[in-house]
Chains A and B, each alone.
Chain A
């Protein structure tokens, strides 16, 4: 089988950094080629070189596509030859319809006048191919992320794609949608369309990839052939981090005390569709020094539960009781929740967690300015000391605490968010997807911090969509589905199968 794409000796330098250093990758026609590596390994840069975002001349090395050397000057050049990228952040216009989005920039038009009936009929065909049962007139904003992803793929198909590049396509999809997407890739493969799949989810890669190229620090480490033999996840990780990750989760001897936190009959309704109950009669408890997980599929209501609990930041008609140390506490506003000793680190740190334009120092003290001020006047020396203290304790990598948080990597941003909440000195810390979008090394550090919190006698409630993470970190796991807690598993008896089994069983009821 011959290669559809060969990139040879690609080197790309930015001022001061060598982002890619002599990278080689060969994609054979009709295969699914996975590209893996830690954040910052150069995956996205490589794909930008391929698609012409970085035009020929701004890098060294050569690109052979369909047997000829190509010198792309821009995305239009690569797209016209059938190389289509679907980025991690979807590039759809929310308030336009599916059909309008699919043909955006490529309108089915004659003399600038759009032939809508043609556009709609072509959209219908494309939607059938990707298995999306929606009207072409549906606005994209009314679709879930999974379906939006399918619209993106339909858009790629409309451009006669030969090489489809997907950057973290399943990052925000639940298991069912992810599976559907992966099956679609297999289907394309059968039709002779090649794909490059960039993903952090190694289990998915093992499932569909024909070969795997591992990047580390801007260089090619190796290319693994999955057809010859099965490649284990540990094998891939070893390539990515350059060492064996004996244990992805730091060891901890849990020292669990009495129950300190209880939620009773917690319910919340959708903020707009007020008859839809999003959180249904949730009862849970956390003990001193315990890490409790909430597992569930995307959309199970976990984030909604946490946010409704934290100062009614989500939903309406919220009811239920929250007890800390046996006393009922008022959590009706964020301020009250924080002062009662609850903290919530959000899943979306850029939108809800950080003031990106401000430095580490100001972000760290934001939730507890009283802690560094007297009579409303901030003691800037004390503030600086606090910020430096957290920077050291959390190992936030930056030149100083005066670094704007927008310039930090995902892992370091997450450490700033955690610092902010630790400085508010909570009893109960709710962590929502604490390691989303963070590379393997930084994950380990975050886990260590979480363990340390539990050892200090706090109660931790951890929401995560990555089941291995919950199984590796928690002492007890609740399973949530459709707004209800449907199972409670002690870590000794918990497994991925049991969790999935509980979800499937409750879905059937």
Chain B
């Protein structure tokens, strides 16, 4: 009936030109490009303040907890849900950590472990209603938001509690010590940067070789070189700048490891694939043998643990727990995920997108603060950027 099929089916391994490939993958690169443009813009208008080592360090510290929560929120949103309670969980877990260490005399390690478990339990409590009772996640987590905001107030008695033991503060304010003992220059930071670049290049070369071996369509070699080269330069330049200041913050390392882990989980593991299927079509996923309820439940547990971790990092950064901690964080986190290209109806979204989205928000916050733009107009601008980014994405998808 159809004579074309035979050659049509022989796996297409035609040489794609640069432009075609970039066009086809515009959505992947477009986000990164806009982040770079925004950074360049603020670098210029702040007369180079943005990329000073001190400010760069601040940028990382200020955004770490948003990025970490965006990883969990991405999975929640891809699964077709939303979590409004994360800001309140940040406040509650921070308050709990403060009470445990300052008032009840627990050591930082026990406190950290306990707080992560509590975060997971909070996520489980909410996920239970969403997954097994089919209460809309918007409602459940709205309730959670109120409950934990209230519990934070009650726990702290309306007061700020601090300061924390030094060991705990290091979580946020600590840096990876220089094992090479450089004076004024942190060789470890540079070394870690080079090592991670080497790892990235090794893995992408290996996967490219594998793709070529199996005649899968790959990016043109020039583009491949350019992409990895650019990434290598950026990472090493970043690490060099950090090395001239105090080196790599502990938080940065935690964040980088988590980003790599979640990117792997979403791209390459069965559980990641199933979350996407669940968000794309829950009924079809269920009839394909996927335990949709349990999977939904687990995404909320995961979100809870990450929100707990964010709460610890935020408290450690301020060196005090306040009843107002975490206020409004959920909005920044959700915005980051949507700016990063996730679909509000579920099934679509990427870890890299969410991370870039978080940094778009972060760089804008930071840049506008340096410029002395008031908190009032900062919010207006951020809101408009969110709308613009998502409308552009919707428009692109329609085309």
Contacts and interface: CB of A to CB of B under 8 A. Distances in A.
Contacts, number: 99
A366 B271 contact: no
B280 A358 contact: yes
Contact of B210 (A311, A344, A381): A381
B394 to A, nearest CB: 14
A441 B280 contact: no
A380 B208 CA distance: 12
Given A380-B268, A385-B214, A388-B11, A346 B287 contact: yes
B289 A367 contact: yes
A339 B9 CA distance: 31
B211 A381 contact: yes
Contacts of B287: 310-311, 313, 334, 344, 346, 352-353
B269 A376 contact: yes
A246 to B, nearest CB: 14
Interface stretch (A279-287, A389-397, A463-471): A389-397
A381 B268 CA distance: 11
A354 interface: yes
Nearest to A339: B289
Contact of A353 (B11, B214, B268, B284): B284
Interface in A338-388: 338-339, 344, 346, 351-358, 362, 366-367, 369-370, 373, 376-378, 380-381, 384-385, 388
B1 A441 contact: yes
Nearest to B216: A384
Given A346-B287, A354-B284, A362 B277 contact: yes
Contacts of B271: 376
Contact of A378 (B2, B273, B288, B291): B273
Interface string B282-306: 0111111111000000000000000
B347 interface: yes
A284 B309 CA distance: 56
Interface string B170-198: 00000000000000000000000000000
B161 to A, nearest CB: 41
A420 interface: yes
Contacts of A369: 270, 273-274
Nearest to B270: A369
B329 interface: no
Contacts of B216: 381, 384
A378 B269 contact: yes
A232 interface: no
Interface string B10-34: 0110000000000000000000000
Given A334-B288, A381-B211, A388 B270 contact: no
A397 B9 CA distance: 9
A170 B5 CA distance: 35
B80 to A, nearest CB: 11
B276 interface: yes
Interface residues of B, number: 33
Contact of A388 (B9, B280, B283, B290): B9
A366 B277 contact: yes
A351 B283 contact: yes
A356 B276 CA distance: 11
B289 A378 contact: no
Contact of B9 (A335, A356, A378, A392): A392
A226 B399 CA distance: 45
A355 B273 contact: no
Interface string A26-38: 0000000000000
A270 B135 CA distance: 23
A496 interface: no
Contacts of B211: 381
A420 B281 CA distance: 15
A400 interface: yes
Nearest to A383: B273
B348 interface: yes
B268 A378 contact: yes
Contacts of B288: 334, 338, 366-367, 420
A358 B5 contact: no
B302 to A, nearest CB: 15
Nearest to A311: B289
Nearest to A445: B1
Contacts of B273: 362, 366, 369, 378
A87 B51 CA distance: 60
Interface in B226-278: 268-271, 273-274, 276-277
Contacts of B290: 334-335, 366
Interface in B329-347: 343, 347
A355 B280 contact: yes
Given A334-B289, A346-B287, A356 B214 contact: no
Contacts of A392: 5, 9
B214 A381 contact: yes
Contacts of B284: 351-355, 366
A313 B284 CA distance: 11
Contacts of A357: 280-281, 343, 347-348
A177 to B, nearest CB: 26
A369 B268 CA distance: 11
A413 to B, nearest CB: 12
Nearest to A349: B284
16 contacts: A310-B287, A337-B289, A338-B288, A351-B281, A354-B281, A355-B347, A357-B347, A366-B273, A366-B288, A373-B269, A376-B271, A378-B270, A378-B273, A381-B216, A392-B9, A420-B288
Counting from the closest, the 7 A-B pairs by CB-CB distance are A355-B280, A367-B288, A335-B289, A369-B270, A338-B289, A334-B289, A355-B281
Interface of B: 1-2, 5, 9, 11-12, 210-211, 214, 216-217, 268-271, 273-274, 276-277, 280-281, 283-291, 343, 347-348
